[in-house]
Structure 1
Amino acid sequence: MQKLKVGIIGAGRGGSALLETLKDFDNIQVVGIADIERKAPGMKIAGQRGIRCFDSAEKLLRESQLDVVFEVTGDDGLVKELRSMIPESTTLVESRAVNIMLTIIRERKELLEIKEIKEQLSIILNSAQEGIQMVDRNGIIKYVNQGYTRITGIPAEQRIGTNVFDVSPDGALVEVLRTGKPCLGKRNRAVGSNAEVISNASPIVVNGKMTGAVVVFQDISEIIHLTEELRRSTSVINGLKDEIKKLSEGQGKFEDIVCQSQKMKNIINLAQKAAREDTTILITGESGTGKEIFANAIHAESPRNGKPFIKVNCAAIPENLLESELFGYEAGAFTGAGKLKLGKFELASGGTIFLDEIGDMSPVLQAKLLRVIQGQEIERIGGTHPIKIDVRIISATNRDLVDLIRRGRFREDLYFRLNVINIHIPPLRERKEDIPALTDLYINFFNRKFYKNVKGVTNKARDMLMSYNWPGNVRELANILERTILMADGEWITEELLIPYFEQFKGREKARGGILPLEEMEKRMIKKALEEYGTSVEGKRKASEALKISLATLYNKLKKYGIRI
């Protein structure tokens, strides 16, 4: 490809800026630069790059064959002289036009910084007077703002959904889609209008892949206004991103985990090492052992700690909604989907997603999650193309996944993908050395919450805490202390405050060796059914069928017995 040979007259600030701009264009060669001041900044830059320097415009024109001459001094007298000196084959671009060009090119950088955040961006851009049009990578027009309609006279509903290759084949958007490169300063007439505009079109690049293009156009006289509006838009978007980040940040660090036992110290040490490695982690352990706290701490000490930490409880969200929560959906994907919804994976971009209760995920979603891990991309419901993601996955479960694999309830290939690093948190009964420190921690916490002044527990009360088996683990300890601090009138938690709870526990233990009350037996059967079929909506339905009761009756009994799911 033959390069365009360019000469620059004026090596001051404007000439320097023009030199910096033109070096990025492969099809342009700056042959020489002229200025009567040899020490002008542009002369120094040109000398460093091997560009010839002249002390007069006349010498530059006499000794060089040029296609274009840029005059950036702003001297009207010099412009008149140049018009008489340059040959007909050479184009003279005056200072004012150069300033406009530089302004347009600077705008390109502003446009490239704006992300494809449709919902927030739509509100902001509709307040702008400039015409804005956005297309996907296939040329389908996805968005036009009110400024576009004002300039062209074409309503949005007549434009959106059409193909830009058909309606504007010579426009800047088509050029960007064909070349993958920005098209800046393209002068043309807006389709449907006699208004002469300058179009700045740029590709939209997400995760290194061009997903479409955007064009902004306005009358030449209003370019400065366009610059201010785009800067304001960028500021608002960055503010929104900061707010999203604040909402999604996890809480808790490893130093917040209270422990005295060597077993827990070893696990924390393993988790700290795992945090630094950008790989999937599976956290296992009984309910109430603190799996979510470990997930928070791992994210906080990982290289992704400045990015979002998004939590998803796979057991708490009905199966028919979980897919849209994880992967999002396109507008119109189903009845009620009026607007595009970003899924949790997209919201966690660059950061960490925590999939709690992963053992309750349905086999269909397990297969989709496996594809996400393998391909590092998701596809929204109703979407037509995959979306690249950069997300670290931490999952957790209180269920025996190996047993679920054996029973055909969990995919073995997904298990190995999730279990690259396993962190197993032991139950409280296996680390009773931690009970005194945890007790002091919760007493201080609930003192502040309830404006109490409990100093601690008596020796007998501490012995009771140490001798209990803690089936509910740390969560159960916190619940007991919360209740006893509320009941306490004095400065100490005594064994009298704990006896009602532990007597109830002893009664349950005794019942295990003899005849069980019908309600206790029913409660156990419900728990066993949920362990067998899972706590998802589908799992509860199967559990109710196995128990020969309706789903509504099952929900009533879960509430009656206080069974947590």
Structure 2
Amino acid sequence: MALKVRVGIVGMGQGGTTVYKTLCKIDNIEIIVVCDRIDKSAGMEMARQDGVATCKTLEAFLKVPNLDVIIEATGSPDVQEDLERKKAKSSALIEAQGANLMMNIIEETEKLAIIKQLKGELDTILNSVQEAIEVVGIDGKIKYVNPSFSRVTSIPASQRIGSNIFEASPNGALARALRTHESVFAHRSRVGGSNVDVISNASPIIVDGKMEGAVVVFQPLTDIYKLMEQLKASNQVIDELQSRINQISTSSYTFDDIIGSHPEFESALSLARKAAKSSSTILITGESGTGKELFAHAIHSASSRFDKPFVKVNCAAIPETLLESEFFGHEKGTFTGALKTKLGKMDLANGGTIFLDEIGDMNPYLQAKLLRVLQEMEFERVGGTKTIKVDVRVIAATNRNLLSLAKQGNFREDLFYRLNVIELRLPPLRSHKEDIPAYVHSLIGKFNRKFGKHVVSLTSQAEELLLNYNWPGNIRELQNVMERAMLTTEKELISHKSILNLLDSHSPIPQEHTIEEIIPIEQMEKQMIRLALKRFGDSAEGKKQAAKALKISLATLYNKLKTMT
């Protein structure tokens, strides 16, 4: 182990303290003693904290034995002379100026070591990046290229370095940045001396506010095209997943959303609640607009499959040529346009519920394939040979008489019985009109939220009009009428005038009064006119509607009204 150099310092002012701090960092130097006539100076306190001996006089300092080096940092000629006369011959004396010079040399050496380390780190970074890098001086002379430059361009570094960029690549981003003193982005060009098309970013190199050169970073277009292809492939996967997600939903309604107190309606609701607890196939029948889809949603929500997919298929809305593909999917390349394997509705509904709306419109070929799914819970994709097992609960709905269709040969009888394990018959609205006020109240709340309205209710005439209407479109028609009425009204009460023009004039409205005795024709005519005016109102528009309902001209109505006054 090398012996340490034993050092003593005289003078712990700013200069001496700086020397002290620097020497403390050097491993093979040991500071033995420091001396200063001001015993409480910051330098003296620092030395004491470090465990270094301190003293106030030269006499005490010179008594310390075996000092290899004495550093005089006071700058006083008298102190320097006294030390020279009295120090041991083995001790070397360095004056303050010499000490500062030594310190400057040490500091510069340390700076050079740091720069060397940074250069090594920078070289490692530049050599490892995948992008090509080229650096030039202010005169255009090429000073550096990294290994990726040679990999991309097939130009060796020895051939490139030393040449001038204005000759090697005069149209490139690097030459342009040198000429303009500005950064260049996304510059497409061909690297001089090669046939490589690249996309480049170049920037000036500024040192202390002065431009000293420029640097360029570039990638070949082939790499960018590869990235674009990868991005395109990723986007296709995302699009496919998005397409699947769009076809899958959870149920939107529960039994709490279903309103109705008529015995026939309550009977269907009670059976639906019981059916929800099983996995049996359900057939929901009823006219259009009676709420078949609402019941399907509610059954799924109340079933053990509530957290699994709920997939709806409108059998009448899908072109017949695409029905099989929509239901069971297809393999890639099965037909023109089949660029990838597609999952069908049965795949998407696996584990959950599939709702087949308007099942009566399904073509016979697909009926046979659906029958197999119901019987075996398996199928093959179009163009495929692999049998796919599924676990799907089927709920079908129709407004047609499937049994009658089966007897006519337009629907498979065996499929009908497979679907009709549990049948829910939903009554038309005209058979439970007493539920209309409850429906209206619920719809008013819904559309108030949707349109920001503050409608409270209907006028008695408007409610009477709704109760007397035949509702061929059932609850769906009632919902449409209420939505349009609330869109047009600005009042808290919806009047019969807001309702009247929204109802189908061809739908029969039952008579409000029954004539029980024979009366003169003229008297009956007046009674019908009064009834029409009561229903449609006494305004000009109301009289126009009344004349239309009575099937007389407006002029005739006015003439008859004159005779009634």
Scaled to the shorter chain, the TM-score interval is: 0.3 to 0.5
Larger relative contact order (Cα-Cα within 8 Å, sequence gap ≥ 6): 1
TM-score (norm 2): 0.46
Larger Rg, first or second structure (1 or 2): 2
TM-score (norm 1): 0.46
